[in-house]
Structure 1
Amino acid sequence: MTYTVEVLVDDDLAVDAALVERAAQAVLTAEQVPAGCEVCIRITTDAELHRLNRDFRGVDAPTDVLSFADDGNSSQFVTAPNLPRYLGDIAISYDRVLVQAAEYGHSPARELAYLTVHGMLHLLGYDHERGPADEALMRAREEAVMTALGLPR
């Protein structure tokens, strides 16, 4: 299937944007999302994730990944029926990628892919914070996609 994944990387960050795109595409394919959907993923810093977390979630602390799903009601304008469905935006802290990769004992590439998968699943409605059953379901989907990417635990 064909999806549009735009990956924006802040200056001075040595990020494998192709891996981010591949991870996002893998989620969309695994979840059988209809072709033509679009998503934007920004790889940035702890400082920017801290600002976004504070401004949008009221949490005054940095975090590793934030997802901003487009519920279709964010615009006062009507979207033409033939336009692609915009799923939303994801922001990932590359600073957190490096720290967490070291903490968990795996490569930064695996951590970057994992956070991309995690954020994509949030855009699709998965939420590990709703309770143990939802957390188990989301973790299972994450592991399935990571395995398909060749990056299992």
Structure 2
Amino acid sequence: MNLEIINDDQVLPAEREQWITDLVAYAANRLDLPADTEMSISLITDEKIREINREYRDKDRVTDVISFAIEDDEDSDLPNFDELAAELEIPRNIGDLFIAPNHVREQAKEYEHSFDREFGYTVVHGFLHLNGYDHIEPEDEKVMIKLQEEILDGYGLKR
């Protein structure tokens, strides 16, 4: 897994970036993704995630994670990126996550989880969205949440 972590505002200590990389690699391995699959995670302030949420989702509030999957829209006129990547022999890029660690920290307190558990949940949840999983329909939610818990438990982030 080729993961770029952008932590320009230093909202998390730089040494935590390896932990994120390891968790994403574990999740990617669980989904059997090709080793050269690409994505990015931007660690940003609450103010920045609120701006993104307002601009792209019409929700004027802070949230923990926003995902922008490249292969998100089935009705798009864009080419099938999986097929295009294979044809051109380039890595598949699944998209970008924007995470607000300070908001995740607040949620960890609210849900009485450790920061690691809540942050891991946030990373894996967003990662699964980038890979086409969703929780809008009850049946899809069951599949996504089950897989999410299996990844977190397997990585050692049990409730």
TM range (shorter): 0.7 to 0.9
Give the aligned partner of residue 91 of structure 2.
84
Which secondary structure does the structure 1 equivalent of 2:4 belong to? strand
Q: Alpha-carbon deviations, 1:64-102, whole Å to 9, x = none?
A: 11110112939xxx8671221111000011111110111
Q: Do the aligned residues in 1 keep the contact of 2:40 with 2:95 (CA within 8 Å)?
A: yes
Runs of 4+ in 1 over 6 A off after TM superposition: none
CA distance in 2, matches of 1:112, 1:127: 19
CA distance in 2, matches of 1:24, 1:138: 16
Structure 1: unaligned runs, 5 residues or longer: none
CA 1:10–1:110: 2 relative to 1, 3 Å: farther
Identity %: 35
User: 1:1-153 counterparts in 2 under 5 A?
Assistant: 3-15=1-13, 16-71=16-71, 73=78, 81-128=88-135, 130-153=136-159
Q: Alpha-carbon deviations, 1:44-65, whole Å to 9, x = none?
A: 1111111111111121211111
CA distance in 2, matches of 1:103, 1:49: 19
CA distance in 1, matches of 2:134, 2:11: 29
- TM-score, reference length from structure 2: 0.85
The more displaced of 132-141 and 10-19 is: 10-19
Q: Do the aligned residues in 1 keep the contact of 2:12 with 2:43 (CA within 8 Å)?
A: no
CA distance in 1, matches of 2:18, 2:35: 19
> Shift of the alpha carbon at 1:35?
2.4
- TM-score, reference length from structure 1: 0.88
> Shift of the alpha carbon at 1:14?
2.8
Q: Do the aligned residues in 1 keep the contact of 2:2 with 2:35 (CA within 8 Å)?
A: no
Number of aligned residues:
147
Structure 2: unaligned runs, 5 residues or longer: 73-77
CA distance in 1, matches of 2:145, 2:29: 17
CA distance in 1, matches of 2:59, 2:113: 28
CA 1:32–1:12: 2 relative to 1, 3 Å: closer
Which secondary structure does the structure 2 equivalent of 1:90 belong to? strand
